[in-house]
Amino acid sequence: MRICMVGSGYVGLVSGASFADFGHDVVCVDKDELKIARLRAGEIPIYEPGLDTLVEENVASGRLTFSSDIATAVARSEVVFVAVGTPSRRGDGHADLSYVYAASREIAGAIEGFTVVVTKSTVPVGTGDEVERIIRETNPEADFAVVSNPEFLREGAAIDDFRRPDRIVIGTEDERAREVMSQVYRPLSLNQAPLVFTSRRASELIKYAANGFLAMKVAFINEIADLCEQVGANVQDVARGIGFDKRIGPKFLNAGPGYGGSCFPKDTLALAKTAQDAGTPVRLIETTVAINDQRKRAMARKVVAACGGDIRGKTIAVLGIAFKPNTDDIREAPALSIVQALQDNGARVRIYDPEGMKHAASVLDDVAFTQSPYECAEAAEALVIVTEWNMFRALDFERLRGIMAAPVLVDLRNIYRREEVARHGFAYSCVGRPDEE
Ligand code: NAD
């Protein structure tokens, strides 16, 4: 199949390269000409494990190309995916659909022959109707169908997720589009990934309902962690104990500093706004959003407490800026709010992240960027683990004790046990494990 991917970010690039790997002929388009130039030069603009090899192999095979000429790319394609950003709209929290609508207009003008236009971007229920209206209005002659096909990949494990999805959701009422989408995903459906065909509206809502549910699970275990701290129970035991129940499942039950990233924060907010507009507020999601917002500053208070109640003028070392390991994405990362709260309390902050720092300079003021966990920890009164990169799981505590101003570890991801840290003379704080404090 000839496929055009409009938007070559985390989702567009991974999906485009993966479709090429399935044997399709893919052009990845982006309006960011610098991004396209870098991709053409063999440079990968984002950090995602395995993506460089996947892109390189498929470019070499001739199945994957890059272009900033959307019209030519659309005209040659049978399927056009829209994978542009849908950030929170400034001010009201609704999804900002301006990129989706702009892309739809550009696509409309270039359609030749029957073309399936697929929104892979996360878009509120009803957006497909508007995309269809825009295309029809811009190009009344166009023969097309608009399909919803939300993406569920996780950054950091994106390629594997794309190749081995739990399910593929396809929202369309159009028979021809259904056939085309089945062809696009045939290599995966042969491997047993269920294709879930639904109406377009149900498909759009499935993505938000899934992210809302997962965010709620995170907020839930974080509240249970707070309770554990008050009543003297270990949240990891509680999570294990409930996670074995198949109705609950073990995933997304790690207590920590709250969810972040480019999806959960904006998607929960947008779902809450959609539901309010529909006159059926989703109060569980509204509360999830509120719990998560408060959580990050609460984590900063934990650091203040670990430092004896005052961090004014003290140096705090923060390990991890990316919203999770194995990505350079720092959008809505908990670390950003935690750093801000530490600074509000008068601390000087040093940070280290193996991949996230290149983006952090533009959003964080007055922090010292360092080149290793040990340089970060120099003269610090506390070391705070915010993102659980593997390289932070085996820190040399003897070395750290020699360079820090005080041996204090605040482990917001619960990756250590108190006795192994205490053995090196460190005071230890964590999340929801009062027996470990
Ligand atoms: P991103 O910001 O990394 O990439 C979007 C790209 O689209 C950018 O490179 C931008 O330049 C380009 N773009 C914008 N308008 C364009 C236009 N008119 N023509 C061509 N290119 C255009 O975003 P992302 O993280 O890949 O997310 C894309 C969508 O996928 C969002 O709706 C997001 O919610 C959803 N999603 C993201 C993830 C994830 O883990 N990042 C997972 C599932 C779903």
Substitution candidate for ligand 1 out of 4, 6, 8, 11 with most atoms within 8 A of CB: 11
Same domain as 189, residue 254: no
Domain-embedded: residue 203: no
Please indicate, yes or no, whether residues 336 and 217 belong to a single structural domain of this protein. no
Q: What residues are labeled active site? A: 263
Domain end among 227, 258, 289: 289
C-alpha 281 – ligand 1 centre gap (Å): 27
- Total domains in the chain come to 3
Kindly state the average pLDDT of the residues 125-138. 98
pTM for this prediction: 0.96
Ligand 1 within 6 A of 102 CB? yes
153 in contact with ligand 1, CB cutoff 6 A: yes
- Say if ligand 1 is within 6 A of residue 264 CB: no
Beta bridge partners of residue 174, listed in sequence order: none
Residue 189, pLDDT score: 80
Ligand 1 pocket member 108 (CB < 6 A): no
From 262, 267, 326, mutation site for ligand 1 pocket: most ligand atoms within 8 A of C-beta: 262
Q: Is residue 177 part of a domain?
A: yes
> Do 189 and 216 lie in a common domain?
no
pLDDT of residue 76: 98
Of the pLDDT bands very low, low, confident and very high (cuts 50, 70, 90), residue 376 is very high
Query: What 3-state class would DSSP assign to 382?
Result: strand
Domain final residue, candidates 197, 216, 235: 197
Instruction: Give, for 401, the enclosing helix (H) or strand (E).
Output: helix 397-403
| Residue % of the chain over a pLDDT of 70 | 100
Mean pLDDT across the chain, nearest whole number?
A: 97
286 Cα–ligand 1 center, Å: 25
Best residue among 151, 153, 208, 332 to mutate for probing ligand 1's pocket (most ligand atoms within 8 Å of CB) is 151
Query: Do 19 and 161 belong together in one domain?
Result: yes
User: Quick check: is 82 in a domain?
Assistant: yes
Question: 66 and 40 in contact (C-beta within 8 Å)?
Answer: yes
Element (H, E) at 178: helix 175-184
pLDDT band (50, 70, 90) for residue 295: very high
Tokens of 10: 């985390």
Please give the pLDDT value at position 22: 96
Calpha distance 380→382 (Å, rounded): 5
Same domain, 242 and 364: no
**In this model, does residue 44 exceed pLDDT 90?**
yes
Give the pairing type, strands 64-67 and 315-319.
Answer: unpaired
Span 274-294, pLDDT tens digits: 999 999 999 999 999 999 999
Q: Write the pLDDT tens digit of every residue in 63-81.
A: 999 999 999 999 999 999 9
Q: How far is the CA of 298 from the centre of ligand 1 (A)?
A: 31
Query: What is the per-residue pLDDT for 51?
Result: 98
Query: Is pLDDT above 90 for 148?
Result: yes
The verdict on the CB of residue 161 being under 6 Å from ligand 1 is no
Tokens of 98: 């301006």
Instruction: Give the span between the Cα atoms of 237 and 254, in whole angstroms.
Output: 11
231 Cα–ligand 1 center, Å = 44
CB atoms within 10 A of CB 361: 10
Residues in the chain: 437
Residue 47 has pLDDT above 80, yes or no: yes
Residues 49, 128 within the same domain: yes
Report how far ligand 1's centroid is from the alpha carbon of 389 (Å): 24
Nearest CA to ligand 1 atom 11: 32
Atom of ligand 1 nearest to the CA of 102: 18
pLDDT-based confidence at 366, cuts 50/70/90?
Answer: very high
CATH of the domain at 354: 3.40.50.720
SS3 363: coil
Between the CA of 85 and the centroid of ligand 1 the distance, in Å, is 4
- Give the pLDDT mean for 147-155: 97
Mean pLDDT along residues 119-138:
98
Of 140, 165, 197, the position where a domain reaches its end is 197
H-helix or E-strand containing 4? strand 2-6
Distance in Å, CA 230 to ligand 1 centroid: 42
Do 274 and 212 reside in the same domain of the chain?
A: yes
pLDDT band at 395 (very low <50, low <70, confident <90, very high): very high
Confidence band, pLDDT 50/70/90 cuts, at residue 192: confident
- Identify which of 8, 10, 359 to mutate to test ligand 1's pocket (most ligand atoms within 8 A of the CB): 10
Q: Residue 278: its pLDDT value, please? A: 97
Given pLDDT bands bounded at 50, 70 and 90, which one contains residue 191? confident
In sequence order, which residues have a C-beta less than 8 Å from that of residue 422 and are 6 or more positions away?
Answer: 428
- Cβ of residue 29 lying under 6 Å from some atom of ligand 1: yes
For ligand 1, the distance from its centroid to the CA atom of residue 12, given in whole angstroms, is 7
The residues, ordered by sequence, that sit 6+ positions from 103 with a Cβ below 8 Å of its Cβ are: 6, 7, 70, 82, 84
Question: Is there an atom of ligand 1 within 6 Å of 38 CB?
Answer: no
Is residue 91 pLDDT above 90, yes or no? no
Q: Do 253 and 318 belong together in one domain? A: no
Residue 253 in any domain: the answer is yes
Ligand 1 and 9: CB distance under 6 A = yes
Distance separating alpha carbons of residues 392 and 93, to the nearest angstrom: 34
Q: The CATH number of the domain where 258 resides is what? A: 1.10.1040.10
Q: Is residue 202 part of a domain?
A: no
Q: Same domain for 312 and 404?
A: yes
> Is there an atom of ligand 1 within 6 Å of 103 CB?
yes
Ligand 1 atom nearest to CA at 13: 26
202 pLDDT above the threshold of 80: yes
Query: Is residue 188 located within the same domain as residue 216?
Result: no
> What does the pLDDT read at residue 437?
79
11 lines ligand 1 (CB under 6 A): yes
Give the per-residue pLDDT at 353: 97
The upper half-sphere exposure of residue 314, i.e. CA atoms within 13 Å in the direction of its Cβ, equals 23
Using a 10 angstrom Cβ sphere, with 0-12 exposed, 13-18 middle and 19 or more buried, the burial of residue 33 is exposed
pLDDT of 97: 98
Shared domain check, 145 and 92: yes
Name the residue with the closest Cα to ligand 1, atom 25: 10
Are 283 and 357 part of one and the same domain? no
Q: Looking at the domain assignment, is residue 241 inside a domain?
A: yes
Q: Whose CA is nearest to atom 10 of ligand 1?
A: 7
Task: Determine the structural domain holding residue 149 and report its residue range.
Answer: 2-197
Please give the distance, rounded to the nearest whole angstrom, from the Cα atom of residue 222 to the centre of ligand 1: 29
